[in-house]
Structure 1
Amino acid sequence: MGGQYSIDVARFISTTDGVATELEVLGQAVTGSASDLDRLADLVAAERDLSHALGSATSERRQNGPRAVQHGGAVVTAAGRVALAYVQADDDMAATTSRADAAATAPGASGPGRFGATLR
């Protein structure tokens, strides 16, 4: 895998925070529209054909709306976990590299020599 990978963590977090906020707003709108549909269904319940037509026209959206919000939330949560793992791995790599560099450049440091012998 040749190449260099990096992300702008601050921008990534800002973007996912914005998406999460908008998903909250969308979730509230979906919940509100479901309540409105319930009230509308109650109003037309006595008219069987109208009630059936309303149910047919709205049932798919009523099911898919909450699922879409839930799925979007799961995507944002997973993205946050990936970003956290990336930052942690980057920190671990930097710490390991720093320790290895310090050990290799310290005068009189013990460790493997150029030909595999342990230096003391």
Structure 2
Amino acid sequence: MGGQYSIDVAGFVSTTDGVASALESLGQSVSGAVADLDQMVRLVTTEADLASALTGATEERRRTGPGAVQHGGDVVIAAGQVVLAYVQADDEMASTTSGAEASIPLPRTSGTGRREALAR
């Protein structure tokens, strides 16, 4: 596993805030649409065939719309948890590495070479 990894935490937070706001707006729209569908079905209840056709045509979206919004929210939450774990692990690794580097003595060589300058 080579390479370097980094996460723009501020960019991630900004992006997920935008997505969360959009999901909230979408959730309100889906709830409103479901309420409107209920009202439409109530308006045509005297026409059984029409009510049945309307219900049949909209039932899938009525069922999947709220679920899609919930799933989107779950994805945002999971992504946040992954980034938090990454940042915590990166902080832990950085503190462990810096502590280990501080305890390793640099080789001493005489003169004013590059190593000598680093050791000072």
**1:28 and 2:35 matched:** no
Aligned to 2:87: 87
* Root mean square deviation, CA, Å: 1.2
CA distance, structure 2, for counterparts of residue 42 and residue 66 of structure 1: 21
Aligned to 1:67: 67
1:105: how far off?
Answer: 3.6
CA distance, structure 1, for counterparts of residue 17 and residue 79 of structure 2: 11
CA distance, structure 1, for counterparts of residue 94 and residue 54 of structure 2: 60
Between the two proteins, what is the percent identity of the paired residues? 65
- TM-score, normalised by the number of residues in structure 2: 0.84
Aligned to 2:117: none
CA distance, structure 2, for counterparts of residue 105 and residue 12 of structure 1: 39
CA distance, structure 1, for counterparts of residue 87 and residue 103 of structure 2: 24
1:64: how far off?
Answer: 0.9
C-alpha deviations, 1:18-59, integer Å up to 9, x for none? 101100000000001111111111111111000011011100
CA distance, structure 1, for counterparts of residue 5 and residue 87 of structure 2: 12
Superposed, 1:5-20 pairs within 5 Å as 5-20=5-20
SS at match of 2:104: helix
In structure 2, runs of 5+ residues without a counterpart are 107-120
CA distance, structure 1, for counterparts of residue 98 and residue 2 of structure 2: 22
1:2: how far off?
Answer: 1.7
Q: Which runs of 4+ in 1 moved over 3 A?
A: none
CA distance, structure 2, for counterparts of residue 105 and residue 33 of structure 1: 69
SS at match of 2:30: helix
In structure 1, runs of 5+ residues without a counterpart are 107-120
1:104: how far off?
Answer: 1.6
Instruction: Please tell me the residue identity of whatever aligns with 1:98.
Output: S
